[in-house]
Amino acid sequence: MKVIACCKIVPEEQDIIVRADRTLDTGKAVLKLGQYDLPAIEEAVRAAEHTSGRAALLCAGTAVIDNSKLVKAALSRGADELFLVTDEALAAADASQTAAVLAAAVQKIGFDLVICGEGSSDIYAQQVGAQLGERLNVNVFNAVGRIRLSGDSIIIERVLEQEVEVLEVPLPAVVSVTTDINLPRIPQLKDIMAAGKKPVTRWGFGDLGVAVRSPLEIISTLAPESQERKHIIVEGDGDDKIDIFWQQIQKEL
CB of 189 to another protein, least distance (A): 5
Identity at 206, one-letter amino acid code: G
Indicate the length of the chain as a whole number.
253
- Of 196, 199, 204, 236, the one binding another protein (CB under 8 A) is 196
CB of 183 to another protein, least distance (A): 8
- CB burial of residue 3 (10 Å; 0-12, 13-18, 19+): buried
Helix (H, G, I), strand (E, B) or coil at 82: strand
Instruction: Assess 236 for contact with another protein (CB under 8 A).
Output: no
Site for another protein in 43-82 (CB under 8 A): 68-69, 72-73, 76
- Of 166, 193, 216, 242, the one binding another protein (CB under 8 A) is 193
- CB burial of residue 224 (10 Å; 0-12, 13-18, 19+): exposed
Print the binding letters for residues 75-114 with another protein: x by CB under 8 A, - otherwise: -x--------------------------------------
**12 vs 207 by CB, closer to another protein:** 12
* Contact in structure between 59 and 201 (CB atoms under 8 Å): no
Site for another protein in 163-192 (CB under 8 A): 186-190, 192
Helix (H, G, I), strand (E, B) or coil at 3: strand
CA distance 112 to 152: 9
List of residues contacting another protein (CB under 8 A): 68-69, 72-73, 76, 186-190, 192-193, 196
